[in-house]
Amino acid sequence: MSTLSGKTLFITGASRGIGKAIGVRAARDGANIVLFAKTTTPHPKLPGTLYTAAEAMQAAGGKTLICVGDIREEDQVQAAVDKAVDTFGGIDILVNNASAISLTSTETTDMKRFDLMHQINTRGTFLASQRCLPHLKKAANPHVLNLAPPLHFGAHWFARHCAYTMAKYGMSLCVYGMAEEYRGKVAFNALWPRTAIDTAAVQNHLGGAQSIQAARTPDIMADAAYHILCQDARQCSGNFFIDDEVVQQAGITDLSQYQVDPSLKPEQLLPDFFLD
């Protein structure tokens, strides 16, 4: 197993939550982190900005590059990729973390929200992958990691929030197709949490403080991502990983360290979507 020392990671949605945590974990190895997101000023309900995230990564030992942009805008993604290559000499890893969520039924999902989810989740993932690929193919151990669920086609996952499921599964389908298209050249994998994670999305969409108490911290996703990204890209591709399985295989047996409330039993934690 290698380390991420000197590697350049391009992370979408890197200003907070899981994206930030993955950047901080990589920074502990001395990685270069390219932060791509829109958040430059504090949001009243969403803590953290690109600048505070970058400060945390620098404090952990990494070098950072802030790229302000919208994952829906082709020219802005391309400009960020170009700037990353100019600054660090290439791109070794892409983390497609940016995502939008709306847990609404078919009749209550307005088309503006539908378009937002599909443009950020599916199209944004495809676009970022497409623009990073010319540089990833030149890297020694190139990885793309999508924060996307395994493709479980139980009807109940579509019946509850069809538009969101379609958009999120679009990220999963990128892994499914691109892993085969670039087999032996660039690794494409997905990572998904077993439980709810203490993020703004959980606070705003899954019941607030009560749900957070039954969640795990973003650190479990960061540790899992780290172990995936250190694998041989030519031997580790096309997988749909679950966070706790990855860290356990890496030798971390005490998962209570990742719980917001360590006193809870594992069965008391809030399960995430798309896992049957």
The residues annotated as belonging to the active site are: 164
Quote the tokens at residue 204. Answer: 């705003």
24 within 8 A of 11, measured Cβ to Cβ: no
Of the candidates 153, 149, 140, 169, the one whose C-alpha atom is nearest the C-alpha of residue 231 is: 140
- Measured between its terminal Cα atoms, the distance across the chain in Å is 31
Backbone φ and ψ of 103, nearest 5°: -90, 65
Of the candidates 6, 17, 63, 60, the one whose C-alpha atom is nearest the C-alpha of residue 39 is: 17
List Cα–Cα distances, 116 to 70, 76, 109, 119, 124, in angstroms: 11, 17, 11, 5, 10
Strand order in the sheet with 32-37: 63-68, 32-37, 8-12, 93-96, 143-146, 187-192, 240-242
List Cα–Cα distances, 174 to 121, 125, 147, 168, 254, in angstroms: 10, 8, 11, 10, 33
